[in-house]
Amino acid sequence: VTTVDGPGVTRVLRALHAAGSMSRSELGSTTGLNRSTVASLVNELVQAGIVEEGSGSSGTVGRPSLTVSAVPDSLAVIGWDLRVDSSTAVVEGFGGRILHRWRKEHRRGSTDPYEVAARVVTGSSQIAEELPDHVIVAGIGCAMPGVIDPGGDPPRSTIHRAPSLGWVDVPFGVILGEAMRERFGSHVPVILGNDAKLGAMAEWTRGAGRNSRAMVFISGDVGIGGGVIVEGELLTGASGYAGEIGHMRFDPDGPVCRCGARGCWETAIGINTIVRSAHLDPVTAGLVDVVRAASAGDGVAAQALAEAARAVGQGLASVVNLVNPDTVVLGGHLAELLGNYRHTIIEELRFTLSRDSTMVRLVEPELGPDSIVIGAAELAFDRALSTPARALAEAASLRSE
Distance of CA 129 to the CA centre of its chain: 25
The one segment of 152-160, 181-189, 258-266, 366-374 that binds Zn ion by CB under 5 A: 258-266
Q: Does 222 bind Zn ion (CB under 5 A)?
A: no
CB nearer Zn ion, residue 44 or residue 266: 266
Residue 223 beta carbon to Zn ion: minimum distance, rounded to whole angstroms: 8
The single residue among 71, 230, 259, 300 that binds Zn ion, judged by CB under 5 A, is: 259
β partners of residue 262: 256
Q: Does 264 bind Zn ion (CB under 5 A)?
A: yes
Residue 129 beta carbon to Zn ion: minimum distance, rounded to whole angstroms: 40
For the CA atoms of 150, 156, 159, 164, the dihedral, rounded to the nearest 10 degrees, stands at 120
Residue 286 beta carbon to Zn ion: minimum distance, rounded to whole angstroms: 22
Residue 352 beta carbon to Zn ion: minimum distance, rounded to whole angstroms: 23
Distance of CA 292 to the CA centre of its chain: 28
Q: Fill in the amino acid letter for 288.
A: V
Q: Which of 360, 266, 347 is nearest to 321 (CA)?
A: 360
Q: Does 320 bind Zn ion (CB under 5 A)?
A: no
The single residue among 119, 206, 247, 333 that binds Zn ion, judged by CB under 5 A, is: 247
Residue 95 beta carbon to Zn ion: minimum distance, rounded to whole angstroms: 40
CB nearer Zn ion, residue 241 or residue 351: 241
CB nearer Zn ion, residue 152 or residue 263: 263
Residue 337 beta carbon to Zn ion: minimum distance, rounded to whole angstroms: 20
CB nearer Zn ion, residue 267 or residue 327: 267
Distance from C-alpha of 117 to C-alpha of 115, rounded to nearest angstrom: 5
Distance of CA 370 to the CA centre of its chain: 7
Rounded alpha-carbon distances, angstroms, from residue 82 to 145, 162, 246: 8, 12, 18
Residue 254 beta carbon to Zn ion: minimum distance, rounded to whole angstroms: 10
The single residue among 216, 257, 328, 330 that binds Zn ion, judged by CB under 5 A, is: 257
Q: Fill in the amino acid letter for 251.
A: D
The one segment of 150-158, 188-196, 261-269, 300-308 that binds Zn ion by CB under 5 A: 261-269
Contact residues for Zn ion, defined by CB under 5 A: 247, 257, 259, 261, 264
